[in-house]
Structure 1
Amino acid sequence: MLSQQTIDIVKSTVPALEAHGKEITTKFYEKLFENHPELLNVFNHANQKKGRQQTALANTVLAAAKHIDELEVLLPAVKQIGSKHRSLAVKPEHYPIVGENLLAAIKDVLGDAATDEILNAWAEAYGEIANVFIGIEKEMYKEAETQQGGWKDFASFTVKRKEKESSMVTSFYFVRTDEKELPTFKPGQYISVRVKPEGEEYTMIRQYSLSDAPGQNHYRISVKREASTPEGKVSNYLHDFVKEGDIVEITAPAGDFVLDSEKTSPVTLIGGGVGVTPLMSMLKTIASQQPNRDTTFIQAAESAEVQAFKDEIQQTVEAMESARSFTFLSSGPVQEDKRIRLGRIDENALKAILYPVEGDFYICGPAPFMRAMSDHLKALGAKEEQIHYEFFGPALPLGDVQPL
């Protein structure tokens, strides 16, 4: 338990963290990788270069300072972050390293304002916060390893099949190299894939949503080819160099953006671009387990050429009793099909399809797309608890994202 004095000191740093949080976390990562370059084998280099990881950590540190006397308030966020940590094989021994470099970054940025009293209070608080993460992640590791077919950290998988879904998206079907059974997963979860492209000094890890229903003899991910930038290194490597029969390393499924399969109320799945991937797992699960459930699938794509899973969605929906699908394309040409529309998904379009809004809404896609969909749904009467969404990469408060 932290003393009241420590709590008061940590809370007193909130204004400084609000003003300099990202500067501190940027300095932190510089120090971390300078002192421990081996951790570049764990962290996503692209998120570092884009600044998303720094922003996400700054938000987490600020929230911890505000709620240092009621850390239970942070448990949902801790579980979400812990799930990502487990999928990346972040271990307890990494936390002291992070703490040491975070305190050094606070001192560097705040200078004389970071007194010994403040640094000592933050060292004590960080230890308390780290123990919360370590405890939750310990249970996650145990669950991943002891479940039926589970394993520890990374396991070797063979690429059984590679299938083009559109001009930009390719699906990869993975099977266990040791031929052991696969553990099940919750529709919406992701796996981490670790590769080492030729010429790269460090291994690279990316998290990809599983795009097929659980219960198969394979895991399927569907990867969009990105531009030739740091964030596209792994996707381009998978598209251009990984072939059927190759071996990659994968962690057990993780993530808390999952379909509530216990509910029977209406469900709407709204995907933008490659954000459709976890929704495919949800759709196919509903089709196999709740084929009578009222289901609406809405997909946004730049054009028909880049639209993924068009036939698979149509076949799945047509096999269900109360399901329908709609596609919005940013550019034409558009077929003569009432399910396909030209333009963005706006409030009026959603109203025409969904009003009155009922049940749960699962959204995935670029952050501005998710913000816009969330705003539209709320304008139509949806409550916060009805709306669920998934960030690809470090999570940010959706309210901080500029909508489309």
Structure 2
Amino acid sequence: MKTYSVQLQAQEQLAEGTLAFHFTKPAGFEFIAGQALDLIIGEQGDADSEWDVRHTFSIVAAPHENELVIATRMRDSPFKQQLKSFPVGAQLQIEGPYGELTLGEDLTRAVVFIAGGIGITPFMSMLRDAAHQQRQQDILLLYSNRRPEDSAFLSELQQLSQHNPRFKLIATMTSMQDSGQEWSGETGYLDAQRIQQYCQGLNQPIYYISGPPMLVEAMHDLLDEAGVDEDDVLSEGFLGY
């Protein structure tokens, strides 16, 4: 896998406890919406484990954009604390791209994205790319968060749904009792019945799941309960993100 040098351009707060990091896009780095990269911030010999110097992130930016963007929940891990400490202009390395959580070529079949929390990141790239390409495919996003305050990219997603008639957003909040914001959308957890209801009328949907491993596993079970063929489900789990 080829290694590229990138420069940190900006940090951006997306939600409570969630930051985006913007990097220059190196010449020759081409990717498909939904793919990922490894961000490298040091040498293996300088750290207790590889996790302290290297992490895998989905690329939030779309392929046509002139920068690379990743987003992550900020934890107290050595990697994330060091990443947060880098000043604008710092030089880092990436490897990639790789990953198969990408859109297929059959536009007649609908796409259903199911995301929990920071699992939204690969779908942001795909949705931005779909809007840019004016992709003629029905796309439904089921996006679950605890509170609006925790929901990265929520405003952008709402705007995308307003401007793209082929894209529908259903965001649900599971802990509104802990929120200081108003919310008029869906609440509660996704279940098989709700998923069936939301997907009613879609043509032969293909399901994409992204989020913490426990959510991915739970969504696989719910889709099975809802009668979805496992061959129509693609997933990606975000360990420790």
* TM tier relative to shorter chain: 0.7 to 0.9
Where 2:88 maps in the other structure, the secondary structure is: coil
In the alignment, residue 215 of structure 1 is paired with which amino acid?
H
Partner of 2:225: 379
1:378 Cα deviation (Å)? Answer: 2.3
- The 5 A counterparts of 1:63-212 are 86=1, 152=2, 154-176=3-25, 181-196=27-42, 200-201=46-47, 204-212=53-61
Given that 2:38 and 2:94 are in contact with CA atoms closer than 8 Å, whether structure 1 keeps it comes out as yes
Point out the structure with the larger strand share: 2
Could you say if the C-alpha distance between residues 379 and 215 of structure 1 is closer, same or farther in structure 2, counting changes exceeding 3 Å? same
More contact order relative to length (CA 8 Å, sep ≥ 6): 2
Cα shift readout 1:270-322 (whole Å, capped 9, x = no counterpart): 11111111111111122222443211111111211111001111111211122
Where 1:214 maps in the other structure, the secondary structure is: coil
Q: 176, 183, 188: which is aligned to 1:343?
A: 188
Any stretches of 5+ residues in structure 2 without a counterpart? Answer: none
Could you say if the C-alpha distance between residues 366 and 245 of structure 1 is closer, same or farther in structure 2, counting changes exceeding 3 Å? same
**1: CA distance between counterparts of 2:28 and 2:148?**
34
Given that 2:193 and 2:226 are in contact with CA atoms closer than 8 Å, whether structure 1 keeps it comes out as no
1:258 and 2:102 matched: yes
State the percentage of identical aligned residues: 24
Q: 213, 228, 232: which is aligned to 1:367?
A: 213
Q: 78, 88, 94: which is aligned to 1:233?
A: 78
CA RMSD of aligned residues (A): 2.2
How many aligned positions are there? 231
Query: Stretches of 4+ moved more than 3 A in 1?
Result: 200-203, 261-264, 333-336
1:344 Cα deviation (Å)? Answer: 1.1
Where 2:198 maps in the other structure, the secondary structure is: helix
Q: 72, 90, 96: which is aligned to 1:223?
A: 72
Where 1:253 maps in the other structure, the secondary structure is: strand
**1: CA distance between counterparts of 2:182 and 2:68?**
33
In the alignment, residue 35 of structure 2 is paired with which amino acid?
Q
Partner of 2:170: 326
1:352 and 2:197 matched: yes
**1: CA distance between counterparts of 2:145 and 2:105?**
27
Tell which structure's C-alpha radius of gyration is larger.
Answer: 1
**2: CA distance between counterparts of 1:335 and 1:303?**
10
TM-score in terms of structure 2 length = 0.87
Partner of 1:275: 119
Given that 2:36 and 2:98 are in contact with CA atoms closer than 8 Å, whether structure 1 keeps it comes out as yes
1:244 and 2:91 matched: no
**1: CA distance between counterparts of 2:47 and 2:226?**
50
TM-score in terms of structure 1 length = 0.53
**2: CA distance between counterparts of 1:374 and 1:289?**
30
